Amino acid sequence: MAAVRVSGSGRGLRPLLLAVLCAVHYAGALEVYAPNELFVENGTYARLPCTFKSTEVTSVTTSITWTYIEEGSTAAGGVIFYFISGKEFQGGLARFKDRVTWAGDINNKDVSIRIDKITFKDNGTYSCSVMNPPDILNSPKQIKLRVVEKDNLPVSNVPFLVGMICAAIGGLLVIAIIVFAVVITKKKRTKQNYTGSGDSGQTESLMSPVKQPPCRSPSDTEALVTSAPSGTVQGPVIYAQLDHSGKPGSQINKSETVVYADIRKNC
């Protein structure tokens, strides 16, 4: 295999080759996103969504091109709208004149468009192409537009998803309320048990028997006292002989037992 020699004049191609290599390097950095298929009700409008991702910041050099191929046609698509240098321009297809408007936000990398007065004739393939130099190599994203009557529109999953999310949130709220109620109930019971224990201790303290003073040993006077009959508890009494005759003298004609005093306490 013969070696390739670069002449002196060919050295000037090096910057161009480097630029090409840089372009190839950035080719994979630009990605375009759009739905593969879109259903629209006849007589309404269609918003064709398209976004892109790029490593470069958008600028006046960023350009977007929308093309249309009629359903069943093999001809090349015609331009219906393009955006460049921050300005909007209508395409060359007369059927879309004044019907296509800008519906995106270039700063947020949204390059969507809107088509008004949609009819069945608008069925076909719409392509979205983005260039954001130096990100310039990418494959256009195609959307197949299906214009149908209202009754033939596919059922959206959005209400179902919203219902599921609301049900999940409601379930979490119910669980949180139950847990909160259980915690509050346990706290109340614990407080009641603590209060009851304190009252019981106070009651027991109030009802505890009062200590009695120690019993004293009987005095000489108590030795003369006879005990009362069993069955009735009472203190000992002192008996004395009283004279009721009224006669002088030391002779006692009549006597009566009199209780002088209770001189001993019960132990």
Which residues are bridge partners to 87 per DSSP? 84
What are the domain boundaries of the chain?
24-152, 155-185, 220-267
Q: Which of 17-21, 62-66, 77-81, 144-148 has the lowest mean pLDDT?
A: 17-21
Among 62-66, 165-169, 176-180, 219-223, the range scoring the smallest mean pLDDT is 219-223
Q: Decide: 231 and 259 in contact? Cβ < 8 Å.
A: no
pLDDT in tens, 79-94: 999 999 889 999 989 8
Does domain 24-152 correspond to CATH entry 2.60.40.10? yes
A 10 A CB-CB count for 144 gives 14
SS3 155: coil
Ramachandran assignment for 58, one of left (phi > 0), alpha (psi -120 to 50 degrees), beta (any other): beta
CB 116 within 8 A of CB 99: yes
Has residue 14 got a pLDDT over 50?
Answer: no
Phi-psi region of 81 (alpha: psi -120 to 50; beta: other; left: phi over 0): beta
